[in-house]
Amino acid sequence: MLDKDYLAVVEIVPSGESHICLADSGRCRSCETKICLRLCPSGVFVWDELAEKAEVSWWRCLECGACQIACPSNIEFRYPRGGFGVSNRF
């Protein structure tokens, strides 16, 4: 069983600029599975029902790369610039 504080060793330092974006947010409307909403372990992608679009909370990213696998044709991911993003604290 995992300790409830298993992410306590992870520190995320947002860079102030997004390192994840959607190439074409209109594609998300026609996506049947919207798998990015379920696959991302930290909930970076959220569907806004009223606006009918995906919201990208890039500052929550754990840099696991799951979004690149889920939607390689529409999610553009790059690692944050040096000194920012995820680091492990021991």
CB 2 within 8 A of CB 25: no
pLDDT in tens, 11-64: 888 888 899 999 998 999 999 999 999 999 889 999 999 999 999 999 989 898
pLDDT at 82 over 90: no
pLDDT of res. 55: 94
Domains of the chain (ranges, CATH numbers)? 6-88 (3.30.70.20)
CB 58 within 8 A of CB 18: yes
pLDDT at 71 over 90: yes
Token digits of residue 57:
């909370």
pLDDT at 1 over 70: no
Token digits of residue 62:
């754990």
pLDDT of res. 6: 65
**DSSP element (H, E) containing 29:** helix 25-30
Strands 75-77 and 10-13: unpaired
